Amino acid sequence: MKLPQTPNQRLDGKRALITGASQGIGLAAACALAQAGAAVTLIARSESTLNDVVSALRNAGHDAQSLVMDVNDQTAIERHLTDQAFDILVNNAGTNRPKPLRDVTADDYAAVMDLNVRASYFLTQTVVAKMSAGASVINISSQMGHVGAVNRSLYCASKSAVEGMTRALAVELGPRGIRVNSVCPTFIETPMTQPYFAEPGFRESVLAKIPLGRLGQIEDIMGPVVFLASPAAGLVTGSALMVDGGWTAH
């Protein structure tokens, strides 16, 4: 009897592009893909921080490059990326401005929707043009693309849009052999979420909704990203991988 073999999750010979990669979830994704063997290109706006990350990756023996760029700048995207071919794209750059509906301004709306939706959409448009069969697009979304929350109507709207975009692109790009999925974390302890936990009672209210009883750490994202990027997820597309400790299971 010939036994089936588990597809491996190695990414040797693959090229990966990660946005918002200088800290938090983006940093974790870049490290995970590099440790799995991919050559990684990290995008962020902060040159000094980005260079520190790339230096650390190189010192650890990984193939890493930096690209200092604002992903909201479509001209820069086209200038730097139009002629480059990647096998993996991780759309991670994002922001949040939690406020009650009555306090959300047009500037808030533009900042959140432009970075969380528009930038990912047009970056993907540019990068997939050079992708081949077997490539993987991973959108870092959120559990908030599947549930509602007080003071997060704008963020929930943006992540719901990311979820819809993920499913539609999976259908459109499937015939080319390109897979498109999302990773939907709960609250992960990162520099972006740190101010929220300074609010009295916020940590307790969050933990009360997570059956596993703990906040997420950036390491919790690393395995799911590698899985979705690798041959082990060869038939997975149009899916939202929940990394939420059970929040959305309620």
Q: Which residues are catalytic?
A: 155, 159
| One-letter amino acid for residue 95 of the chain | T
CA dist list (Å): 214 to 208, 211, 224: 9, 8, 18
First and final CA of the chain: distance in angstroms?
43
Edge-to-edge strand list for the sheet holding 15-18: 64-68, 39-44, 15-18, 88-91, 136-140, 179-185, 240-243
Length of the chain: 250
Structure tokens given for 179: 């897979």
Q: Phi/psi class of residue 11: alpha, beta or left (left: φ > 0; alpha: ψ in -120 to 50)?
A: alpha
Structure tokens given for 62: 């990984």
